[in-house]
Amino acid sequence: MNNIDPIAVFKTEAAEQLEVIEAGLLDLTSDLDDRAQIDAVFRGLHTLKGSGSMFGFDQLAAFTHHCETAFDRVRKGEAPATIELISAVLDAQGHMQALLETPNGDHEAMSRKLLENLQRAVGGAASAVPAAAPAGVVAVASKAAEQNTKRSWQLKFSLPANSMINGTNPLGLLDELRDLGECEITAETQDIPSIDDLDPREIHVHWTVSLVTEAPESEIEDVFIFVMDEMKMELKEVGSSPAQTVEAEKPAIVGVAQTPNNAAQPAESDKSLPEAKAQRQNDNVRVPALRLDEMMDRVGELVIAQSRLSQMAGSAADLGLRSVSEEIERLSGELRDTMMVLRMMPVASLFSRFRRLVHDLARETGKDIELITEGETTEVDKTVIDRLADPLIHLVRNSIDHGLENPQDRIAAGKPPTGRVHLSAHQTGSEVVITIRDDGRGINRDRVRAKAEANGLIQPDQQLSDQELLQLIFQPGFSTAEKVTNLSGRGVGMDVVKKTIEALRGAIDVKSNIGEGSEIALRIPLTLAIIDGLLVRVGSGNYVIPLSAVEECLELSVEEDLRSRGRSFISLRDHLVPFIRLRELFNTGTEPEVFQKVVVISTGAERVGLVVDQIIGDHQTVIKSMSKLHSNVASFSGATILGDGNVALILDVAHLVAAGQHQEAQMRAAG
């Protein structure tokens, strides 16, 4: 049984179309004469209007029609593409999103306001954008003639049998032809099969159209711009040259349709067309994220069961059981890797949102801002991308409001008037590092310290490292802004950033130079579901350290342990590395082993050693959330189930590294 909701599918595809329109508009801001982008925006608006009308989103179709008409004038050279027009359509694009989400809401007042702005942007031509038209009525725009005399055309066309299934409404195409001039339409019904063989989902009718219009040939073809590659069409001017035949064998794509000169292919070639099209259509499948989450849960349970089987096989003498266990281990590992890839998405889907944000903030602040993105193909778990959106918005807004100077101040400081915000992503091991960098004024450390002392966060004489001082900007209620603006200054946002990143088991690094700008790096795990871990024992308990954070393992003898009492440092290639005795941190109440081990972990440039009793080995770790009772325990980020059914806690690397560095700072201050 098919439970697919066509309205839900339309909303998803319409949202994607709106993103395409937005991207095209933003690209146009850097080159107003880019014909390819002008055509792309027009086609996006045309598609959205037609699809919205077909699925009953009349307000959306009507409103989008006016924007389409405005860009149609630009496309034909009747009006220039201007920054004002792009801004007006960008504002309208946000309203289209509201019309999509609440199609039956009262949007008339906002529609009128935006259409008035659009009318002013295109020069006030009443025929271009009828601002006073009701939001629910599509006004038929007058077509600009390229020639003053009317011409007679004869058009014969047939659509693929599955056109209606794919969302094409033949009646909409015929209505567009009627809008071009005097139109006489004849439906050719001789190919309709008997009632027993009739499939009501398919089109069995083709049409002959006589059209008298001032519109040029290109405008008639534009009616079929989105089905041109799949349909058969004969178009000729009555009494003039022979007909040009259009017959395509490729699926429709969003692009400027070209009319090939070749004649129709033999009927034999059409026999393989449905199979080839079906193969191409199956190349990409839209799957709800919830189903992927359910599959990942099942894969996680399989990994746990496989771990238990491996443990049982390892203690058994049956070689056949061991062989099966190894095979299942290999298959479950491959299934896990495949599942992880399915959940991965490029960060381009995240970065693309900030082009519009930067464009709007530039208008609001009066600053010249250039957004540069790098590493968009870097892939991260979809859940991570969804949860990173809000933190990145706060960081980009702060870079623009606090960091970048206005053009006059930048010129006075010897900088170019246009400020730069640089968004980049790259993968390091099993982490993704997302960096937000600006070339603004930088963070004033004296102001940060004064504000922290005023808020009681630190004591006036308290010694802090540069990183500890910069990390104060993430404290709740902290802000160095001199006045509250629409963008920032209330001390809300940066603390949310830190909480979100820590909830993702990530870390934040801050760098800043006065007059040169600031850089904030977010270190995020690739996935939140399954990780490779190092299983260790402390006392009688087992713990998992994320393998991506492990640098090396050392042995700590009893003599070295006693010698380092009071100064918990080890010498590692001429560098002192602080270490934490987990046995004392977790208060196990057990005596140390004769030969303890030190696991050196790191986040970025910071390193710390963890003293454990035994290193058991690597372990595929299925991450389980902590209970509400233990959710605030800072040393752990989650738990996992071992093969024997026992629970092992997953250590929070970022918290332990921070604790070790704090311990080092205290010892250095005391010494």
* Eight-state DSSP code of residue 538: E
C-alpha 461/C-alpha 645 separation (Å) is: 51
The residue type found at 216 is P
Q: Which residues contact 513 (CB under 8 A, 6 or more apart)?
A: 442
Pick the CATH number of 151-259 from 3.40.50, 1.25.40, 2.60.120, 3.30.70: 3.30.70
- Cβ atoms of 194 and 175 within 8 Å: the answer is no
pLDDT value of position 1 = 41
Query: 530-670 has which CATH code?
Result: 2.30.30.40
| Rounded CA Rg of the chain | 32
C-alpha 499/C-alpha 651 separation (Å) is: 17
pLDDT value of position 519 = 92
Residue 223 φ/ψ, nearest 5 degrees: -60, -35
Q: Mean pLDDT in each 10-residue stretch from start to end of the chain (671 residues)? A: 66 84 86 85 83 80 86 82 87 87 84 86 52 38 46 87 75 84 87 83 86 82 73 77 39 32 37 41 64 81 83 83 88 83 83 85 87 89 84 88 89 91 85 90 88 83 81 76 52 74 82 90 78 86 86 81 70 80 84 84 78 85 73 76 80 76 63 56
Sequence spans of domains, the chain: 6-121, 151-259, 289-345, 347-525, 530-670
pLDDT value of position 386 = 83
- In this prediction the pTM is 0.61
Distances (CA, A) of 171 to 185, 248, 451, 492: 11, 22, 67, 53
pLDDT value of position 315 = 80
Q: Which of 19, 30, 27 is nearest to 349 (CA)?
A: 19
Q: Is residue 335 helix, strand or coil?
A: helix
C-alpha 423/C-alpha 390 separation (Å) is: 15
- Compute CA 382 distance to the chain's CA centroid, rounded to the nearest angstrom: 8
C-alpha 133/C-alpha 154 separation (Å) is: 34
C-alpha 186/C-alpha 174 separation (Å) is: 11
| DSSP assignment of 206-265 | EEEEEEEESS-HHHHHHTTTTTTTTSEEEEEETTSSPPEEEE--S---SS------S-PP
Pick the CATH number of 6-121 from 3.30.420.60, 3.30.460.10, 1.20.120.160, 1.20.1290.10: 1.20.120.160
- Cβ atoms of 637 and 621 within 8 Å: the answer is no
Pick the CATH number of 347-525 from 1.20.1290.10, 3.40.50.1970, 3.30.70.890, 3.30.565.10: 3.30.565.10
**Would you put residue 548 in left (φ > 0), alpha (ψ -120 to 50) or beta?**
alpha
Structure token pair of residue 243? 């007909």
C-alpha 640/C-alpha 650 separation (Å) is: 7
Burial string for 546-561 (b: 16+ CB within 10 Å, else e) reads bbbbbeeebebeeeeb
Neighbours of 17 (CB within 10 A): 22
pLDDT value of position 161 = 81
pLDDT tens, residue by residue, 94-150: 888 888 888 888 888 888 888 888 888 876 443 344 443 443 333 333 333 334 478
Q: Which of 534, 649, 641, 614 is nearest to 311 (CA)?
A: 641
Q: Which of 552, 549, 546, 464 is nearest to 510 (CA)?
A: 464
Q: Which of 325, 333, 255 is nearest to 300 (CA)?
A: 333
Burial string for 190-200 (b: 16+ CB within 10 Å, else e) reads eeeeeeeeeee
Structure token pair of residue 333? 């590992």
Place of tokens 């090396």: 552
Structure token pair of residue 182? 């005097």
